Amino acid sequence: MNSVRLRVLVEIALAVALAAVLNWFGVRLPFNIAGGRVSLDMLPIFVVALRRGLLPGIIAGAAWGCADLLFDPYIVHPVQVVLDYPLAFALCGFAGLGAAPVASALKRSQAGLTAALSAGFSLIGATGRFASHWLSGVVFFASSAPKGQPVGIYSAVYNLAYVAPSAIACAVLAALLVPTLDRAVPVER
């Protein structure tokens, strides 16, 4: 195994461990009875994805999703488990679509562009997570919707209540951390 591959695996393992710690400090909202923690657990996944690319980001996200399932499960159906845990967080890895533009901006020492790209692509990853949770809500939690309210709207409001604040906080922190981390531990390509 070459040293770059080993470093990527170590970064993924550290990201999963850090996501667990950050999730532990999350806040469960009182109106999200079945789940919905506002936390920074997506941040390490975004950082791996923005530094290492799409595939490492997806792997880190899926690994964290599996770990999260072990720590705080809420299970109603096997497909719901996939949608709410490994798939939702694997989609956070889509922030890795921005790895090349972020690396290019870092190489040109464009701090503002690096921050904007890091935040923007983090929000893309968070949107993937939201979509997976939304679909799970529509399919598996329709009975929780108030009578007369469309299930799609209920699921969107429920999931946005915790994914949106988490996404915004993680995007802002990713904008600050990615350039700082690159100065401290540059990525070998």
pLDDT at 110: 96
Give, in order, the Cα–Cα distances in Å from 126 to each of 90, 95, 97, 111, 167.
10, 8, 13, 22, 6
Q: pLDDT tens digit string along 17-58?
A: 999 999 999 887 666 555 678 999 999 999 999 999 999 999
- Domain of 47 in residue numbering reads as 3-184
The structure's pTM equals 0.94
Residue 189 located in a structural domain: no
Number of domains composing the chain: 1
Residue 61 located in a structural domain: yes
Residue 114 located in a structural domain: yes
96 in Cβ contact with 52 (< 8 Å)? yes
In a 10 Å sphere around its CB, with 0-12 CB exposed, 13-18 middle and 19+ buried, how is residue 86 labelled? buried
Instruction: Assign residue 100 the CATH number of its domain.
Output: 1.10.1760.20
38 phi/psi in degrees, rounded to 5: -85, 115
Residue 75 located in a structural domain: yes
Residue 20 located in a structural domain: yes
Return d(Cα 84, Cα 136) in angstroms, integer: 7
| H/E stretch holding 23 | helix 3-24
Q: pLDDT tens digit string along 65-123?
A: 999 999 989 999 999 999 999 999 999 999 999 999 999 999 999 999 999 999 999 99
Return d(Cα 8, Cα 56) in angstroms, integer: 7
Greater confidence, 189 or 105? 105
- In our burial notation (b when 16+ CB lie closer than 10 A, e otherwise), range 107-119 reads eeeeeeebbebbb
Greater confidence, 32 or 165? 165
28 phi/psi in degrees, rounded to 5: -85, 125
